Structure 1
Amino acid sequence: MVKQYNVLLDTMDTIPNPSFNVNTNDLKTLKISILINQDKEPLDLTGATVRLAVKKPDQKTVLEDCTIVDPLAGSCEVVLGTQAYNVAGTHEAEVMVYYASDTVAVTSSFSYIAKKGILSDDTIESTNEFQSITQAIADNEALLEDLRTNGTGIDAQARADIETQATQLAQKAKQTDVTIERKRQFSKIRKNNTISALNRYAYPLRSDGTPFSLRYDELPIVFTDNQGGFTTNFDVANFKNTGGKTIYMSTTTGLSSNDGLTRNTPCQSLEKAMVLAVNGDTIICIDPEGTMISRAGWANDGVISKNVNIIAENKIVAFKGDTPTWVLTSGYTKTYEVTRSAVERVVDFNNMDIPVEYKKVASIAEVEANKYSWYTDNVKTYVNSGGNKVPNNKILPLLTTGRAMVQNANASNVSTQSAKIYLENLILVGGDKVVHLLGDANFNNHELYTKNCKFYYSTALDCVLTQNAKRSYHQGSICAYSVKDGFNYSTTIGNSNIPDFIEVNCKAFANGDNTINTANTHNGSTAHAKSYGIRINCTYYHNVGGNQIDVQGVKSVNLGIVTFDSKATDATWSQGMGTQGAQGVESCELWYEGCISFGNDSDVYVPTGETVHVKLCQYDTVNGGGIRDFDERL
């Protein structure tokens, strides 16, 4: 018997699907039939790989491979594995479509509810296995004793075989007893899934016997179920600037003459808010959801040189570019243009949760012939936003020129003070680096904190680059679609300017462009130059290089991270997690516990001279000649 549920999704629009109910005790009977559209037309799945991503009530994510039924109709199906519904509560799901060109289309989401079945881990099946094993051990021991006393004629090999059998039976009895006890204990943890019900995680000792630590702060408090599960009460908001006033900004209702001190008198740009702000102030953007803020409404040069908090009340996008007004190109029916040169990428943010990058083509004629494409003749930029659809101002041309959306240094890379910057609920798009914290010989105690931010579509380097600074802490933030790395921590001016980093519940995916920079060296999260850091419950995937890689003497603890499907085109660089070596500095030492890595040529990579500790992890392939302190893989 199969329980079938039908779902209609779109990569461009949000389609309401009724929630449906499943039971946590269902087994191989839950089939979801999915139709995928793009802008209300069937999405061609020819040559694609389709996966269902499910976020469970415990905030863990499960990936399920879908079977394509009719590629031209955008039809696929999936039979849910038990991990996709074994936790009672509401599950959020979306479909990701991968193409050979390393492009990813993500659909709108839908939900279903898992109802807790009557049968659970508390139901202990009656079994006499343990008693039977115990009896077998007793019988075997009696036989051995008889042989020792009377069996002088027995063959030596037979004696050894019986001794081995006795040892194996004793081990089996111990394992059986432990397995039953683990089930009981795990059932208690699931029922009492609070911090008080877990054990406090003990950070490891380094190989030299000293405790693992950060340079500047106490380690985050982490709790574990001792089975590879982790949680933490770390909150990056505790690092906000305090003691200052609140300044309101709005690009839709603000005025340059306003003082920004009330919601009714907002200033009109972040740049004006920064003029009004002093160290310790909080800038709140009150623009309504869906607002696209161009560089004129943000900060034209991106410089944030004071200790400030910048928080968005609603879901808005700030981008490195100018607000476009698209007009129909003469002689064409599907091609629209805007006078704008120096464009590097064009991105459609009509669905702010699922941005779509248009494909660059070589002529206006190709734009006319291809949906979701663009071209520039270095005077104007042309787009086809989907057949006869008229493009709006949410189809954004991102500039090649121009620096980061947020940076602490001016155009000459000069800082005026050590800046402490806190960002929350922002979607920042474009810039050579989306966020760049850069210290120099005079000012190098910079601090960057982000919470629930999204950093997308850099045009030259990384999404978030922290160099020659003190702290770079991130929680619930995402780095995606950069041409280089997602999160990157480094120093260039000596050992006194090395950043500590923390990532909690972060993601980094689809970073790297092999036509720019060195091929296959683009990472989801990477630390350099003796940085110390911690990653907790983060996910890194589809990056064109190692998904999570540390180098040059880094010491990092990685708890509950997931890495999969490196998109490196060279197997040498197709890595899930690990290190790429000392690179002329010193050896790394990395710890992984409760982590999952799959779909990479090297799920764990440990080159010669490096030390990697792996505990309670799931992975397939390990490469490199370094020191592997691994326990048995799960």
Structure 2
Amino acid sequence: MADFGRAAFDLAQLALRGRKEITPPSGLGYTPPFKVYRDNLGIYTDFTIEKYKNTGGQDYYVTNNGSDSNDGKSWSTAFSSMSKALSMADVGTIYVKFDLYDRNRGLSAVTITKSVNIIAVGGKVIFSAHNSLTWSLTSGQTYTYQAARSTVDAVWDAKTVDELGDYKMLTKRTSIAEVEANAGSWYTDGTTLYVHTHDNRIPDTFIRAYLAVPNGVINSGTAKVYLEGVTFEGGIEPLKVTNGNTSSMPAVYAKKCKFKYGTQSNGATIQGADSFFVDCEAARNNLDGFNYHIYNNLKGIPVEINCVGRNNGYTTQDNNNGTTTHDAITSVRINGTYNKNKGPNVADVGAGKSWVVNSLGHTSTATTDVQNTNFQIDGLMWLDGCDSYNSPYDIATTTASSALYVRDLKWTAKFFNTTGASINPY
């Protein structure tokens, strides 16, 4: 079919589907670099994240069976570590073969300060903040094994997974005796790690002792980093993006990436940077899934499309979120799913503005009223075609100046509002 004929056919199909553009609310003060549409098949955007790939530079290749003494310019002469590939002055794109890359070969030992594309090839690539360990049976014990390793923050078992495919966490104990008495537990004296697996097996490569170290870190005032098909596991926070000065911001563009098992903080922490997440997931982190803050008086605008923030929050606090902005940040979320977080599933804090389209919030696991909600605001929020269920509250407002605007909202009308905030149609 000729190009003209194809274009006419496509327009006819769109007309049959009843496509209508959904425009951002005027009060948002931000126009995304894409359009949002609604038709009888659903809500979608014309956003193409691939157009933000960096151009130019040399292609380099990384595999676990490569060597850093190679030139890295083909699969047959690939490097074995990300640090080597990133050290190349002319690097443009790094292609990484599907595999698990531990702390020494992945991104835990390096900070990204330049514009680069990092693309998984052939399947899932995991950058993990753990080292391979050598285990031996602890003297006088039956099920407890030990390995020399300091700085351990958390231990997860990648062989024992739940119905969602998530690893099973081991419980930290205070002595070797407690570890021996409790399957699925661990203890450290600071230099030696002791583990009793869930199924009493000898610890193997599936036991991931995540360290109290950074994992994926982007720290620059100008870097534009494109990520595709990469999973970040463990570390203080699996991904952290921050600016390096007070005059310019980096940007991260992530497609089909995951951020999981953060030991102290969030899955993806974005500070003073622009960010676009498409088809990404943040889960099983100590605090929030996606977290956005101002830094060096600079604040980026986060965009999430088709993202999931779930099962986050392992602290005693009730304010862990699937996605959250702070410091009057403006944000856009489209087709998101945020659920089973120990706090408001979606929370915008600090007089922010957010446009949330066709997104689902459900089943907060918090215990206090104002936190046990699906959507929480203290600024302005527009909920357009969203769905809320299975939490004590659908929406909670925390200041009198909060204003919520709703259209086609599916909810149970459970509104936690003690401040006189307004709720309005739009």
Q: Taking structure 1 as the reference length, what is the TM-score of the superposition? A: 0.61
Q: 2:245 aligns with which of 441, 444, 456?
A: 441
Give the Cα–Cα distance (whole angstroms) in 2 for the partners of residues 273 and 390 of structure 1: 35
Gaps of 5+ in 2: 1-11
Aligned partner of 1:213 in structure 2 is 30
2:415 is the alignment partner of 1:622: yes
Aligned partner of 2:8 in structure 1 is none
Q: 1:420 aligns with which of 215, 224, 246?
A: 224
Aligned partner of 1:317 in structure 2 is 126
Aligned partner of 1:407 in structure 2 is 217
Give the Cα–Cα distance (whole angstroms) in 1 for the partners of residues 36 and 25 of structure 2: 16
1:39-87 deviation digits (Å, cap 9, x = unpaired): xxxxxxxxxxxxxxxxxxxxxxxxxxxxxxxxxxxxxxxxxxxxxxxxx
Equivalent residues, number: 407
Contact 2:17 2:40 in 1 (8 A): no
Aligned partner of 2:351 in structure 1 is 553
1:429-475 deviation digits (Å, cap 9, x = unpaired): 12222111111434532001111111111122211111112x20001
Give the match's secondary structure for 1:271: helix
2:304 is the alignment partner of 1:503: yes
Q: How does 1:152-231 map to 2 (within 5 A)?
A: 197-207=17-27, 212-214=29-31, 218=33, 220-225=34-39, 229-231=42-44
Give the Cα–Cα distance (whole angstroms) in 1 for the partners of residues 175 and 342 of structure 2: 28
Aligned partner of 2:282 in structure 1 is 479
Contact 2:129 2:233 in 1 (8 A): yes
Contact 1:292 1:394 in 2 (8 A): no
Distance verdict in 2 for CA 1:277–1:477, change over 3 Å = farther
Give the match's secondary structure for 1:366: helix
Runs of 4+ deviating beyond 4 Å: 192-196
Distance verdict in 2 for CA 1:598–1:277, change over 3 Å = farther
Contact 1:438 1:444 in 2 (8 A): no
Identity of aligned residues (%): 30
Give the match's secondary structure for 1:316: strand
Give the match's secondary structure for 1:578: strand
Distance verdict in 2 for CA 1:370–1:603, change over 3 Å = same
Contact 1:200 1:223 in 2 (8 A): yes
Distance verdict in 2 for CA 1:286–1:357, change over 3 Å = same
Aligned partner of 2:294 in structure 1 is 491
Give the Cα–Cα distance (whole angstroms) in 2 for the partners of residues 193 and 323 of structure 1: 54
Aligned partner of 1:609 in structure 2 is 401
Give the Cα–Cα distance (whole angstroms) in 2 for the partners of residues 443 and 337 of structure 1: 49
Gaps of 5+ in 1: 1-191, 410-414, 582-587
Amino acid aligned to 2:415: V
2:278 is the alignment partner of 1:466: no
Aligned partner of 2:9 in structure 1 is none
Give the Cα–Cα distance (whole angstroms) in 1 for the partners of residues 406 and 40 of structure 2: 14
2:389 is the alignment partner of 1:598: yes
Give the match's secondary structure for 2:347: strand
Contact 1:198 1:223 in 2 (8 A): no
Amino acid aligned to 1:233: D
Give the Cα–Cα distance (whole angstroms) in 1 for the partners of residues 248 and 235 of structure 2: 22
1:503-536 deviation digits (Å, cap 9, x = unpaired): 1111111212334xxx222111011223222111
Give the match's secondary structure for 1:431: coil
Give the Cα–Cα distance (whole angstroms) in 2 for the partners of residues 335 and 387 of structure 1: 12
Distance verdict in 2 for CA 1:535–1:372, change over 3 Å = same
386-395 or 555-564: which moved more? 386-395
Amino acid aligned to 1:438: T
For residue 196 of structure 1, report the CA deviation from its aligned partner.
6.3
Higher alpha-carbon Rg: 1
Please report the RMSD computed on the Cα atoms of aligned residues, expressed in angstroms.
2.3
Which gives a bigger RCO, structure 1 or 2 (Cα 8 Å, sep 6+)?
Answer: 2
Q: Taking structure 2 as the reference length, what is the TM-score of the superposition? A: 0.89
Contact 2:131 2:209 in 1 (8 A): yes
Distance verdict in 2 for CA 1:195–1:260, change over 3 Å = farther
Contact 1:575 1:600 in 2 (8 A): yes
For residue 306 of structure 1, report the CA deviation from its aligned partner.
0.8
Contact 1:559 1:593 in 2 (8 A): yes
Distance verdict in 2 for CA 1:379–1:250, change over 3 Å = same
Q: 2:371 aligns with which of 573, 578, 583?
A: 573
For residue 277 of structure 1, report the CA deviation from its aligned partner.
4.8
Aligned partner of 2:145 in structure 1 is 336
Give the match's secondary structure for 2:51: helix
Give the Cα–Cα distance (whole angstroms) in 2 for the partners of residues 618 and 507 of structure 1: 19
Select the structure that is richer in helix.
Answer: 1
Give the Cα–Cα distance (whole angstroms) in 2 for the partners of residues 265 and 246 of structure 1: 12
Aligned partner of 1:589 in structure 2 is 380
Give the Cα–Cα distance (whole angstroms) in 2 for the partners of residues 318 and 499 of structure 1: 25
Q: 2:233 aligns with which of 401, 411, 429?
A: 429
Contact 1:278 1:307 in 2 (8 A): no
Distance verdict in 2 for CA 1:351–1:420, change over 3 Å = farther
Give the Cα–Cα distance (whole angstroms) in 1 for the partners of residues 365 and 264 of structure 2: 19
Distance verdict in 2 for CA 1:575–1:482, change over 3 Å = same
1:536-588 deviation digits (Å, cap 9, x = unpaired): 11111111211101122322211111111212222221121130x2xxxxxx2
Give the Cα–Cα distance (whole angstroms) in 2 for the partners of residues 346 and 593 of structure 1: 40
Give the match's secondary structure for 2:26: coil
Q: How does 1:84-99 map to 2 (within 5 A)?
A: none
Give the Cα–Cα distance (whole angstroms) in 2 for the partners of residues 532 and 277 of structure 1: 35
Distance verdict in 2 for CA 1:235–1:330, change over 3 Å = farther
Q: 1:239 aligns with which of 52, 60, 72?
A: 52
Give the Cα–Cα distance (whole angstroms) in 1 for the partners of residues 16 and 368 of structure 2: 46
Contact 1:206 1:589 in 2 (8 A): no
For residue 226 of structure 1, report the CA deviation from its aligned partner.
7.3
Give the Cα–Cα distance (whole angstroms) in 1 for the partners of residues 289 and 359 of structure 2: 15
Contact 2:395 2:416 in 1 (8 A): yes
Aligned partner of 1:92 in structure 2 is none
Aligned partner of 1:147 in structure 2 is none
2:333 is the alignment partner of 1:532: no
Q: 1:304 aligns with which of 112, 120, 124?
A: 112
Give the Cα–Cα distance (whole angstroms) in 1 for the partners of residues 302 and 16 of structure 2: 27
2:179 is the alignment partner of 1:395: no
